[in-house]
Amino acid sequence: MKKEFTAVSLPTSLYREIEDAVRGTADPSVANYIAKVLRESLKKGGSTEEVFSPEDEEKVKDRLKALGYID
Amino acid sequence: MRKVLIIGLDSAPAEIVFDRRKEFPVLNRLIEGGRFGTMRSSDPPITIPAWMVMSTGKDAGRLGLYGFRHRTGPTYDKMWIATAQSINEPAIWDIIGQAGGQSVLVSVPPSYPARPVAGQRIGCFITPGADKDYTYPKELKAELEEKFGPYMFDVPFRIENRAEILREIYRMTEKRFEVLHYLMRTKPWNLFMFVEIGVDRVQHAFWKFHDKTHHLYEPGNAFETAIIDYYKFVDQKIGALLNEAGDDTVVLAISDHGAKRMKGAFCVNEWLIAQGDLVLGAAPARGANIEKTPIDWARTKAWGWGGYYARIFLNVEGREPKGIIKPADYEREREALAERLRSIRGPAGEPWATQVIKPNEYYDDARGDYPDLMVYFDDLYWRSAGTLGWGTMYLEENDTGPDDAVHAQHGMYILYDPRSKASVRKDIDITDVAPTVLRAIGLPIPADMKGTPLR
Ligand SMILES: [Zn+2]
């Protein structure tokens, strides 16, 4: 798969700050860090919302297990 | 807007639909007048995300959906189950709705909760039960139940009694088509889409009885024709539905991935233990779940999850609560593990065609809770078992239930347009489907859909 990229401008001071923050982490790329934070903040609703009650969630998990989707 | 009917046959492989087409007169008629071929499914080729990759035209990375469950952040024991709420990209029915059109959607996974749509929607098999609100609009549930009784989302799979599973699959499909006929007659629609999950269930429950190359196949067994007989039954049902779909309706019969014989289950965590990557705090009981087993995190570098494919998580310092892999070593450790995974051999020492995916590199734009590695053991012929305490790495059968089939990367499609009949074979990618449907309906294709509409 070919990835496409585009460039944005940041204040150099902010860039340096992020650089310091990600240095020595699992992924020390400033671009990856910025992309990750932005994706988080763009996320609408999604997985954090309560869909299942705890009992229902167990019921669904057991079913998915029996079906082979999860273990 | 032209009308499009999408017939979702969950897990139907080309090896059955095309190779045995003479036994399915209705599907065969569509093949002989249409475009057809294999469809390369999503990565991973699993029901969730596959139907949504197909319906949104976005890959699994962009959807942030890598299966039915996901690890919640960098935790050891928290997970979330994908639901309809997890979808953040517009699907074809959203685009149709914006253009003023109507859709009828029946059991397209994931569709619980039944989110609002311009039209009607019925939940899929992740609906906890018929006591829930499983339709949009809400009142549709009572309208349907009054006529057809409670909807059947799935069949119970725990029972070892295969005859009973088979009876239930037929009962579910029979009921679904009653509902489909009713909706087709009484509701306005530009897009009518349903997924028959019974196809997947009959294959998982009866593959070893059907496939002569399966290691547990017994000649002359009582269920030898169970799968093909069910396809014939579904073929008839589709025929009756087509009679009501309208002469000018474009028909797309499609699966979300294929199916093939399961060679066995590979105990990924047993392997990680043998490799020294995973250290347990106590000896596991037979078949113990990894989440319920004490792990010596101070000495553990990686652990895995089971399913049709394996998810591997690394224990990284500063990310996991008790991580030990130094961030500076992450990429080297990950690549070394990937290389070891690729070189795993089968129980008789036979080489495997194992594929290892690094999600953050593989997807154009990986979002959400992806694992460090995704692994298809032997091109998916071996499912992944995350459970422990088996005393072996190779299980002949699934560790969690009766199951003889695994998913295959390629599903199939047949696109039948009554205005331009032709029998043309062309293989496509799953991301081509949404643009193809939009073009057939006569709507513009959003620029961020990467697939190509089929001509
Ligand atoms: Zn499926």
Rounded CA separation B118/B322 (Å): 48
| Closest-CA distance of chain B to residue A18, Å | 17
- Where b means 16+ CB within 10 Å and e means fewer, B49-72 reads bbbbbbbbbbbbbbbbbbbbbbbe
* Window 146-165 of B, Cβ < 8 Å to A: 154, 156-158
Q: Do B128 and A56 touch (CB under 8 A)?
A: yes
Query: Could you say which of B81, B330, B367 has the minimum Cβ distance to residue A60?
Result: B81
B363 touches chain A (CB under 8 A): yes
Instruction: Say whether pTM exceeds 0.95.
Output: no
B307 touches chain A (CB under 8 A): yes
Rounded CA separation B127/B140 (Å): 16
Structure tokens at B307: 């399913």
Do B283 and B173 lie in one domain? The reply is no
Task: Give me the total of CB pairs closer than 8 Å, taking one residue from chain A and one from chain B.
Answer: 110
- Where b means 16+ CB within 10 Å and e means fewer, B232-267 reads bbbbebbeebbeebbeebbbbbbbbbbbbbbbbbbb
Residue B451 lies in a domain: no
CA angle in degrees (0–180, nearest 5) for B106-B69-B367: 95
Do B54 and B174 lie in one domain? The reply is yes
Per-residue pLDDT tens over the stretch B321-337: 999 999 999 999 999 99
Residue B302 lies in a domain: yes
Residue B453 lies in a domain: no
| Closest-CA distance of chain B to residue A25, Å | 5
Rounded CA separation B415/B27 (Å): 11
Q: Do B86 and A47 touch (CB under 8 A)?
A: yes
Alpha carbon distances (Å) from B155 to B110, B124, B170, B231: 17, 12, 10, 17
Residue B150 lies in a domain: yes
Query: What is the Å distance from ligand 1's center to B7 Cα?
Result: 13
Task: Select the residue from B63, B71, B157, B172 to test the A interface by mutation, using most A Cβ atoms within 10 A.
Answer: B157
**Is A45's pLDDT higher than 50?**
no
Query: Could you say which of A39, A61, A71 has the minimum Cβ distance to residue B399?
Result: A71
A9 touches chain B (CB under 8 A): no
B90 touches chain A (CB under 8 A): no
A6 touches chain B (CB under 8 A): no
Do B362 and B276 lie in one domain? The reply is yes
B88 touches chain A (CB under 8 A): yes
Residue B454 lies in a domain: no
Helices (H) and strands (E) in chain B, counts: 13, 21
Helices (H) and strands (E) in chain A, counts: 3, 0
| Closest-CA distance of chain A to residue B250, Å | 31
Give backbone dihedrals phi and psi of A38, rounded to 5 degrees, phi first.
-70, -40
Residue B90 lies in a domain: yes
* Residue-number span of the structural domain to which B374 is assigned: 264-402
Q: Do A67 and B328 touch (CB under 8 A)?
A: no
Q: Do B69 and A47 touch (CB under 8 A)?
A: no
Do B398 and B419 lie in one domain? The reply is no
Per-residue pLDDT tens over the stretch B396-442: 877 766 678 999 999 999 999 999 998 999 999 999 999 999 999 99
What is the Cα A33 distance to its own chain's centre? 10
Q: Is B236 left (phi over 0), alpha (psi -120 to 50) or beta?
A: alpha
Do B169 and B190 lie in one domain? The reply is yes
Does this complex have an ipTM over 0.85? yes
Chain A residue at shortest CA distance from B85 = A46
Residue B446 lies in a domain: no
Alpha carbon distances (Å) from B432 to B33, B58, B440: 20, 10, 12
Q: Do A25 and B88 touch (CB under 8 A)?
A: no
Do B228 and B322 lie in one domain? The reply is no
Q: Do A4 and B82 touch (CB under 8 A)?
A: no
CATH code of the domain in which B181 resides:
3.40.720.10
Chain A residue at shortest CA distance from B59 = A1
| Closest-CA distance of chain A to residue B364, Å | 5
Do B285 and B167 lie in one domain? The reply is no
pLDDT at res. B270? 97
Do B368 and B424 lie in one domain? The reply is no
Residues in A closer than 8 angstroms to B364, CB to CB, are 1-4
Q: Do B327 and A52 touch (CB under 8 A)?
A: no
**pLDDT tens per residue, chain B (455 residues)?**
999 999 999 999 999 999 999 999 999 999 999 999 999 999 999 999 999 999 999 999 999 999 999 999 999 989 999 999 999 999 999 999 999 999 999 999 999 999 999 999 999 999 999 999 999 999 999 999 999 999 999 998 766 789 999 999 999 999 999 999 999 999 999 999 999 999 999 999 999 999 999 988 999 999 999 999 999 999 999 999 999 999 999 999 999 999 999 999 999 999 999 999 999 999 999 999 998 899 999 999 999 999 999 999 999 999 999 999 999 999 999 999 999 999 999 999 999 999 999 999 999 999 999 999 999 999 999 999 999 999 999 998 777 666 789 999 999 999 999 999 989 999 999 999 999 999 999 999 999 998 999 97
Per-residue pLDDT tens over the stretch B235-247: 999 999 999 999 9
Do B72 and B215 lie in one domain? The reply is yes
Do B268 and B149 lie in one domain? The reply is no
Query: What is the Å distance from ligand 1's center to A24 Cα?
Result: 41
Do B96 and B165 lie in one domain? The reply is yes
Do B251 and B275 lie in one domain? The reply is no
Number of domains in chain B: 2
Residue B452 lies in a domain: no
| Closest-CA distance of chain B to residue A65, Å | 6
